[in-house]
Chains A and B, each alone.
Chain A
């Protein structure tokens, strides 16, 4: 087993770890971190597999990963801006599994429309 293969396996494990966290966590910032970890895993897998057993390195996957890193930061920045906008609009920075009604019961003093809907129902 060469060290390239070891890094390829590390990349695959990082991808799966990120996928688990992406599904498991409700907070959007945590989901963004998870997607970044998944991306790092894919990059590692790509370069390590291309390096496997070769003498001269293949520059094409290297160039693609550099492109990928810049695209990843663009997507991260846009996702963070969307998260902040969602917080401004709904008061929460999470993507919950529960319906809005259940959510408002769990968070009684949640602001704006969720809370007012709840009050209206009680009255």
Chain B
């Protein structure tokens, strides 16, 4: 196992743990705003780590560019969707959780 392989495994594991944290937050947090906070932040970082791990294994630079494009697309899409969800929640009059 070469050095890049080990680095890939570490990056993938780190990414997976962020996904796990985000999912736990989605299930355990009290309201829509905190849930979205957990989901968007942890998952985007986890995805970035995973894609970085995969990019180390890529055969050519075009594959790396495509992986990067995937990340940028998902960042933009998830922030748009999160904004839409929060806006709808506010319009419905859901108050943020306070305690």
Task: Indicate yes or no for A touching B, C-beta below 8 A.
Answer: no
Which A residues contact B (CB, under 8 angstroms)?
A: none
Which B residues contact A (CB, under 8 angstroms)?
A: none
